[in-house]
Amino acid sequence: MLDRSEEQHEVIRAEVRRLCDAYGNEYWRSLEPSTYPEEFVRELTTHGWLSALIPEEYGGGGLSLGGASVILEEIAASGGNPSACHAQMYVMGTLLRHGSEAQKQRYLPDVANGNMRLQAFGVTEPAAGSNTTAVQTRADRDGDTYRVNGQKVWTSRAEHSDLMVLLARTAPAGSGNDRLQGLSVFLIEMRNADGTLIDGLTINPISTMMNHSTTEVFFDDVVIPADSLIGVEGDGFRHILGGMNAERILIAAECIGDGRFFIERASAYARERVVFDRPIGQNQGVQFPLAKAHIQIEAANLMRWKAADLYDMGQPHGVEANMAKLLASEASWAAGNAAVDTHGGYGFATEYDIERKLRETRLYQVAPINNNLILAFVGQKCLNLPKSY
Ligand SMILES: Cc1cc2nc3c(=O)[nH]c(=O)nc-3n(C[C@H](O)[C@H](O)[C@H](O)COP(=O)(O)OP(=O)(O)OC[C@H]3O[C@@H](n4cnc5c(N)ncnc54)[C@H](O)[C@@H]3O)c2cc1C
């Protein structure tokens, strides 16, 4: 099914919401600070939602990016945390667009039916930071294999994944536009048949302020088959760019969902909570920040759909994807802040879930790309200002 209409999106919305309602906010709270939502992810997989972007011929749902974004938005709006599983959607584009037919046949049906989890995206490195072209992890060709050496950081869900999409250097960096060359992208089988990690691969969890299951990953002479390479050697950075734009659109949708959660909860509370003999929502000091955040969310949502529609039509969408991510991450933060103020002291109480969701949504101003870099990109691409990064 290729969903295009709002009616089809409403069907997705309702079905995902029904599944999420079975995992109420108590469930998400009980996982704090750092337990992975194993049952929830399994159920999403069983119902086919995590294979939304895998074409039907490989056993997936064959949805558009817009349709997939509705799934993540609804999880967030229900009070859940889609970060436990969203990578399976955003790395898919790299494999679909640049993977060989043999790679797709080999992996996609198993990912679609849940036999394999494709949840790890190894790009960021400690020394490179936001400058992705400076990554130093090397993959050196050795006969029918590559030998991988180096370190990734913030590789989320690696402990809960069987496959990793990895960006590594196969040739020295050039200069100018050529600095995009020399990086290659691989699809790595991370585990042996018994589930243990392949030789040379070490994963260490990183403790964070929200439940995110993120890690650092060390490659110590990890040997992978040469046919793990996706697409053309040296073109890896360009291959993952499309996937990164998809990720930004999906994250924007998650932030829209977070924002809806905050505004719905806070508005309900503001209608019911009576202080000085009137509902607190009657005070403009309470009402206006909520109204303003609602407006910000609605505006960000328009940009999210513009970006998703352009992506699904195969048209240039990089600027819109970036703008959607920035607007949505700022809007959800404004909504979360207003929700804390509205709840007064209870905004800080774990049982209200506002503080948990506020910690979760804060991430998206920083990752998967920080908002400063989006401003730098828009300044250069849209305003013809000198490149600053
Ligand atoms: C919880 C979490 C999960 C993540 N998951 C993944 C994942 O699964 N896979 C993955 O590959 N990565 C992941 N990341 C990494 C994430 O994409 C990076 O943290 C992010 O891109 C920023 O990089 P950095 O942390 O190195 O910050 P830095 O690049 O060190 O930036 C630090 C600060 O400097 C500013 N700055 C830097 N350069 C400029 C400039 N030229 N102009 C203006 N400001 C600038 C930034 O805006 C930022 O405020 C994750 C990160 C987190 C925190």
CATH number at residue 136: 2.40.110.10
Q: Which domain holds residue 48?
A: 6-98
Among candidate residues 68, 98, 128, the one where a domain is terminated:
98
- Regarding whether 229 and 156 lie in a shared domain, the answer is yes
pLDDT, position 2:
53
Cα(83) to centroid(ligand 1), Å: 16
Cα(24) to centroid(ligand 1), Å: 31
pLDDT, position 177:
63
* Closest ligand 1 atom number to CA of residue 368: 17
- Regarding whether 180 and 51 lie in a shared domain, the answer is no
The response to whether residue 365 sits with its C-beta less than 6 Å from ligand 1 reads no
Sign for the pseudo-dihedral over CA of 281, 283, 289, 291? positive
The response to whether residue 161 sits with its C-beta less than 6 Å from ligand 1 reads no
Whether 99 and 187 have beta carbons less than 8 Å apart is answered as yes
* Closest ligand 1 atom number to CA of residue 371: 47
Structure token digits, residue 199: 């030789």
Residue 106 belongs to some domain of the structure? no
- Residue keyed to tokens 């993540």: 72
pLDDT, position 4:
67
Q: What H or E segment, with its residue span, contains residue 262?
A: helix 236-272
**Would you call 32 helix, strand, or coil by DSSP?**
coil
Q: What is the distance between the alpha carbons of residues 49 and 41, in angstroms, rounded to a whole number? A: 10
- Regarding whether 293 and 338 lie in a shared domain, the answer is yes
* Closest ligand 1 atom number to CA of residue 131: 29
Report mean pLDDT in 10-residue bins for the chain, 389 residues.
Answer: 78 97 97 97 95 96 96 98 90 92 97 96 96 96 98 98 97 76 96 97 98 97 98 95 92 98 98 98 98 98 97 96 98 98 98 98 97 98 95
The response to whether residue 123 sits with its C-beta less than 6 Å from ligand 1 reads yes
**Would you call 214 helix, strand, or coil by DSSP?**
strand
Among candidate residues 189, 212, 237, the one where a domain is terminated:
237
Among candidate residues 98, 133, 168, the one where a domain is terminated:
98
Cα(125) to centroid(ligand 1), Å: 9
pLDDT, position 174:
73
Sign for the pseudo-dihedral over CA of 331, 334, 340, 344? negative
pLDDT, position 5:
82
- Regarding whether 158 and 207 lie in a shared domain, the answer is yes
* Closest ligand 1 atom number to CA of residue 124: 11
Q: What is the distance between the alpha carbons of residues 281 and 71, in angstroms, rounded to a whole number? A: 31
Whether 192 and 218 have beta carbons less than 8 Å apart is answered as no
- Regarding whether 256 and 227 lie in a shared domain, the answer is no
Which of 133, 154, 156, when mutated, tests ligand 1's pocket best, judged by the most ligand atoms within 8 Å of its CB? 154
The response to whether residue 388 sits with its C-beta less than 6 Å from ligand 1 reads yes
Q: What is the distance between the alpha carbons of residues 51 and 55, in angstroms, rounded to a whole number? A: 8
Residue 158 belongs to some domain of the structure? yes
Residue 109 belongs to some domain of the structure? no
pLDDT, position 361:
98
- Regarding whether 142 and 83 lie in a shared domain, the answer is no
